[in-house]
Amino acid sequence: MAFIEVCCPDCDTNQVVKYGRQPNREQRYHCNNPDCERTIFLLNYQDQGRLPEVKQQIVEMALNGSGIRDTARVLGVSQTTVINVLKKRASIAAG
């Protein structure tokens, strides 16, 4: 039997426990570090639009003048995802 050590992607601690499954049968994990802001995460995300790196790329491409359709095509996410990310960032910046 193989043992895979799972670390939290935010705080990099190994205080992680299994926390159920997604509807697509992907294993969920829970970080038990009280100082960590992230509570639930997956090791392999199916939806690339939820990754923080992709969200950051969406914002950077918008600041560089790329359109919504162009950004969606290059990053492999939907146009709706691009619009939602930009709306959330705009409301945070205006807040």
- Reduced to 3 states, what is the DSSP secondary structure of residue 83? helix
Q: Where in the chain is the domain with CATH 1.10.10?
A: 48-94
pLDDT tens per residue across span 5-30: 888 888 888 889 999 998 888 899 99
Structure tokens at 62: 């918008």
Assign domain 48-94 to a CATH class: mainly alpha
Query: Which residues face 29 on adjacent strands?
Result: 18, 41
Report which residue type is found at 85.
Answer: V
Q: pTM here?
A: 0.59
51: DSSP letter: S
pLDDT tens per residue across span 54-89: 999 999 999 999 999 999 999 999 999 999 999 998
